[in-house]
Chains A and B, each alone.
Chain A
């Protein structure tokens, strides 16, 4: 067999004669790597230089025909080797199924030994002020420890129910104390590492309680620990501080779908955006609660049914036309404001004004994109709620707020209004921040900006069909666990 050529018996379709033909596969060559290097004139190069340019393929077919995704993409200087041929030498004759017997050793110490007793005592030693060994460091670790073992018993309200979390009692130290401002700084630093870009706080009073807690959901009483009474959550009177965490959702996948085609097309992908927020919000909430418990303070979670009011009152957001949290940095692409109720003293933040709620008067892009006519198109907000589809009394919009009252009976929960919002841009282009700055100062160009948003196609759906073929090396819009944050994250 000639190198690079295969011989076959074949029939000529025209002459009908049988003969031997030589089939040259497109680029296949069985030449050795050495011959290949000789062919491209590099045989004379030194070993070091040759090693630098040694191709990462066994033959030319492999080089040009290898389907994308066959190998893990590595930086260009990485060489690939043949199967089983790792950089560490392996004797495959000795490689059999194996189970390690640690013989009582764990982390360098043999159990039952005097050394083990001394090490155990050291590990259980009181938390100190040494950086890395203090109570707050342990609290940060305990927050990350949630679901570490995979045995986490979740509870949105009570928090993680595992028993192996550190507490001030188990560490033999007093609980954390600090000023309200110190406590706020501590929480923001820890929660940012857990995945919360912005945290605000509210000290509860009767006004705030009326606005943000669902009627009958929660009651305060003179008790030591929180508990549930039927369907109602009961907390101690000392739980007067609310931690408000902004939970983001993935921008790009929220834009899947085409509002002009209605709700049925692409149904599976339409839910992905909100699911990214709800899913990550659950584990973030658990970490948040555990952090506080390890500091020695009480905490319960998920008292955020009316989370849009929480966002507005705490300064995380303004109210949008579609009655969602509208934030300066992320628009409406935040899934919700997740809360933790605690007795750790915290400051109280105040509402913001970025001109966004005012912008909604001249915009209404979300309302125009809604396939179900659930968002009013009127320019001005109103105190009056909208009657139901059959003229019944509107019992789904609360009185006492001047807004564009949603026709909730129509809303199917699709993502089109959120995806369309003018403030929802991925913040690479500088024009977005320029416009937000201008809008915060004056509304004179609001209508112009809304028109330009439509003209420039910002509310259009993203190219879902191409998403599966995206270049994973350069794609900037996935959520890579534990990836470092950058400016504006």
Chain B
């Protein structure tokens, strides 16, 4: 059944897929090397981001607006920290090498 939830997750899925392909393209074009722990941090950040979005959206469905906003703080901030950390680690190391 066509609902806002289906639309939301279609957009998220497409964005994640397109974003991942773009990331791989950039890594290859710049000849970067990504360590395994940087991949783990990045994927963890993306997973937590997806969980944050789902719970944020669904909390409004549950009529729990205050819980929705709290989700942006926890675990939302954790996802931002992981993603930034993964990017910074990879970027600084590859910049130093180049």
Contact = CB atoms under 8 A, between A and B. Distances in A.
A456 B61 contact: no
Interface string A387-400: 00000000000000
Contacts of A379: none
A456 B66 contact: yes
Interface string A435-472: 00000000000000000100111101011000000000
Contacts of A477: 63
Interface residues of B, number: 14
Interface stretch (B8-16, B52-60, B79-87): B52-60
Given A455-B70, A456-B70, A457-B67, A431 B51 contact: yes
A455 B69 CA distance: 11
A69 B7 CA distance: 28
Nearest to B4: A474
B93 interface: no
A458 B63 contact: no
B62 A430 contact: no
Contacts, number: 42
Contacts of A41: none
Contacts of B62: 425-426, 428-429
Interface string B38-68: 0000000000000100110011011110110
B64 to A, nearest CB: 6
Nearest to A462: B63
Given A425-B62, A476-B61, A430 B67 contact: no
Nearest to A453: B67
Contacts of A452: 74
B64 A457 contact: yes
Contacts of B55: 429-431
Contact of A457 (B61, B66, B74): B66
Nearest to A426: B62
B16 to A, nearest CB: 16
Contacts of B71: 431, 456
21 contacts: A426-B61, A428-B58, A429-B54, A429-B55, A429-B59, A429-B61, A429-B62, A430-B51, A430-B54, A430-B55, A430-B58, A452-B74, A456-B66, A456-B67, A456-B70, A457-B64, A457-B67, A458-B64, A458-B67, A460-B66, A477-B63
Given A425-B62, A428-B58, 17 more contacts: A426-B61, A428-B62, A429-B59, A429-B61, A429-B64, A429-B67, A430-B58, A452-B74, A455-B70, A456-B64, A456-B67, A456-B70, A456-B71, A458-B64, A458-B67, A476-B61, A477-B63
